[in-house]
């Protein structure tokens, strides 16, 4: 078996089974599965993608899926390749049988893991036989049901072709046939156990009466109500104790030919699992984990869509977008999730977001980054419709605690971080900057912010700049202004709606003054 900690691109030949048939990955089109990075990108925490991954991967440690989430795709064709598979898995018939297959594969691995801890030889070999029977049955069932469903995606269509080839191969047919014959032969073995005092002996079955049914009838009269099945409370599979093992040893001596065939079967088929079947099972977890994550959110009435991707034209838009991590956190309560739109047209490259504190500005910036990131993984994204840019990197600057070890002050650290970003950025990069330079004077913050915005738009990169400085909202025809709205009836109440309009910071101040009776007119009315 492949180790659960091996990466998805173990080696150049890992996409070819021992049968010599090329298997096409369901994660990487054209077997383009080389990973760019084995470490997480810096922006995951700022975008709260780390929270999303923590939930998705909670029970999937054996699959080593982290690198899949760390490595975005740079080819639109490969992104659409994954989107097609997600769409196929939205078919309830396909999903049902895929989940059955995944369940069986997990059960098989449980058996194989249990076998490692068993002491009795034939007990081990018996469980290997059971695992093989589940394996062959599950693969045949999946092949039949996928053939019936006729997947539309290139990925699952390739898998189906491989399954058909594999299940018709001499190796698989031999495995299946020999396992079934051996199971039948073992199940027909009968023997007697004779207990005498503290000893027992095992002898061949010679037509003795079977008292099993008689005993059931005797004890049936004591059953007055339906009893709880306590077998379900016992560990799923356990090994034999030494007495059962000794009985099995004696039974093997009574039927040497059958158990010799079991020995030979074990030698021939102990490494029975096909590498590509295992890979398919592992790669499925990426899709199943994400679809499971968003299922509760969709049940709440929120929409997901498959975005189109652009590589040159930077006219992008999203309708009905939202923060995925925030929506998940509130998927089981009644807190409404506010939807927001955005669009960039023509020369527009950067969104300047202003408005009151706690008005949803940071969440909007996160949403912008999440949408692009999820789209680059081939996942359905939060929103009704989306056209997004295929970026090469995301640079984020969100508030962080000062680190004593770097010996830099807050302003110096802000400048240092921004400098490193700009030094590494390209026209395909995305910037998400959240209220930087808050530690300096307003005049210095305006000057520095303008310098940075100009450098980003001169680079022709995309971005969101969250600020409390209204003066930044209209410094170029490549920037647009978006504002976090308040309730017009109650300026202290946030709507978390971000709309495209000119900043109105003075309007907030006037509304608050009016609410508290502090406008010039209200004050003058109180003066005698």
Distances (CA, A) of 451 to 393, 430, 455: 21, 17, 6
Q: Name the residue among 139, 175, 156 with its Cα closest to residue 23.
A: 156
Nearest-10 crossing angle of helices 275-299, 76-89: 70
| pLDDT of the residue at 423 | 95
- pLDDT reported for residue 134: 97
pLDDT for position 7: 40
Cα separation, 25 vs 156, in Å, equals 9
| Residuewise pLDDT in 10s, the chain (528 residues) | 333 334 434 433 444 554 556 767 999 986 555 566 678 998 999 999 999 999 999 999 999 999 999 999 999 999 999 999 999 999 999 999 999 999 999 999 999 999 998 888 999 999 999 999 999 999 999 999 999 999 999 999 999 999 999 999 999 999 999 999 999 999 888 888 877 777 888 888 777 777 777 777 787 777 655 555 444 433 455 667 777 878 888 888 888 999 999 999 999 999 999 999 999 999 999 999 999 999 999 999 999 999 999 998 999 999 999 999 999 999 988 889 999 999 999 999 999 999 888 889 999 999 999 999 999 999 999 999 999 999 999 999 987 644 545 445 678 888 989 999 999 999 999 999 998 887 788 888 899 999 999 999 999 999 999 998 888 988 899 999 999 998 877 777 888 999 999 987 655 565 556 666 777 787 878 887
Q: Which of 427, 438, 468, 433 is nearest to 452 (CA)?
A: 433
Q: Which residues contact 248 (CB under 8 A, 6 or more apart)?
A: 120, 122, 123, 240
CB 9 within 8 A of CB 33: yes
Per-residue pLDDT, 505: 65
**pLDDT for 51:** 96
Q: Coil, strand or helix: which one is 6?
A: coil
The alpha carbon of residue 452 and the mean position of all alpha carbons in its chain are separated, in whole angstroms, by 35
CATH class of 302-526: alpha beta
pLDDT given at position 185: 94
Phi, psi dihedral angles at 3 (to 5 degrees):
-70, 140
**Contact (Cβ atoms closer than 8 angstroms) between residue 74 and residue 375:** no
pLDDT score at 4: 36
Q: What DSSP state is assigned to residue 22? A: B
Other CB atoms within 10 Å distance of the CB of residue 137 = 14
User: How many whole angstroms from its chain centre is CA 198?
Assistant: 57
């Amino acid at each position: 078996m492949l180790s659960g900690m091996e990466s998805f691109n173990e080696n150049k030949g890992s996409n070819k089974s021992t049968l010599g048939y090329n298997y096409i990955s369901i994660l990487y089109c054209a077997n383009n599965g080389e990973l760019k990075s084995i470490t997480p990108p810096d922006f995951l925490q700022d975008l709260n993608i780390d929270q999303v991954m923590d939930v998705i991967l909670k029970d999937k440690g054996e699959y080593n899926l982290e690198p899949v989430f760390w490595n975005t795709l740079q080819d639109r064709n490969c992104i659409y390749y994954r989107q097609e598979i997600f769409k196929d898995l939205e078919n309830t018939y396909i999903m049902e049988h895929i989940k059955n297959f995944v369940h069986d594969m997990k059960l098989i691995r449980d058996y194989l893991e249990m076998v490692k801890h068993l002491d009795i030889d034939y007990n081990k070999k018996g469980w290997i036989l059971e695992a093989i029977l589940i394996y062959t049955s599950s693969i045949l069932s999946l092949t039949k049901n996928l053939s019936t469903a006729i997947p539309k995606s290139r990925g699952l269509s390739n898998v189906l072709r491989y399954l058909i080839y594999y299940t018709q191969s001499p190796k698989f047919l031999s495995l299946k046939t020999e396992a079934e014959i051996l199971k039948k032969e073992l199940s027909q073995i009968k023997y007697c156990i004779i207990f005498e005092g503290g000893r027992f002996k095992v002898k061949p079955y010679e037509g003795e009466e079977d008292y099993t049914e008689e005993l059931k009838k005797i004890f049936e009269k004591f059953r007055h109500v339906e009893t709880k099945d306590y077998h379900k409370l016992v560990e799923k599979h356990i090994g034999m104790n030494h007495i059962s093992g000794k009985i099995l040893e004696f039974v093997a001596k009574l039927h040497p030919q059958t158990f010799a065939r079991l020995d030979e079967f074990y030698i021939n088929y102990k490494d029975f699992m096909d590498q590509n079947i295992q890979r398919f099972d592992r790669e499925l977890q990426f899709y199943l984990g994400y679809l499971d994550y968003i299922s509760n959110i969709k049940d709440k009435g929120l929409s997901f869509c498959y975005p189109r991707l652009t590589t040159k034209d930077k006219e992008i838009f999203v309708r009905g977008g939202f923060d995925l991590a925030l929506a998940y956190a509130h998927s089981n309560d009644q807190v409404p999730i506010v939807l927001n739109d955005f669009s960039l047209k023509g020369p527009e490259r950067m969104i300047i977001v202003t408005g009151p504190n706690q008005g949803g500005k940071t969440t909007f910036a996160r949403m912008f980054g999440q949408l692009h990131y999820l789209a680059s993984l081939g996942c359905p994204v939060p929103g009704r419709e989306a056209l997004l840019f295929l970026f090469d990197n995301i640079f984020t600057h969100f508030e962080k605690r000062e680190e004593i070890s770097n010996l830099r002050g807050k302003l110096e650290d802000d400048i240092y971080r921004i400098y490193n970003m700009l030094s590494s950025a390209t026209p395909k990069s995305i910037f998400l900057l959240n209220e930087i330079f808050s530690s300096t004077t307003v005049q210095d913050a305006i000057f520095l912010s303008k310098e940075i915005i100009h450098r980003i738009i001169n680079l022709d990169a995309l971005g969101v700049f969250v600020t409390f400085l209204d003066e930044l909202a209209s410094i170029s025809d490549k920037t647009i202004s978006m504002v976090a709205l308040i309730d017009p009836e109650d300026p202290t109440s946030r709507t978390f709606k971000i709309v495209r309009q000119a900043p109105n910071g003075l309007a907030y101040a006037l509304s608050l003054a009016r609410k508290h009776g502090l406008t010039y007119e209200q004050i003058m009315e109180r003066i005698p």
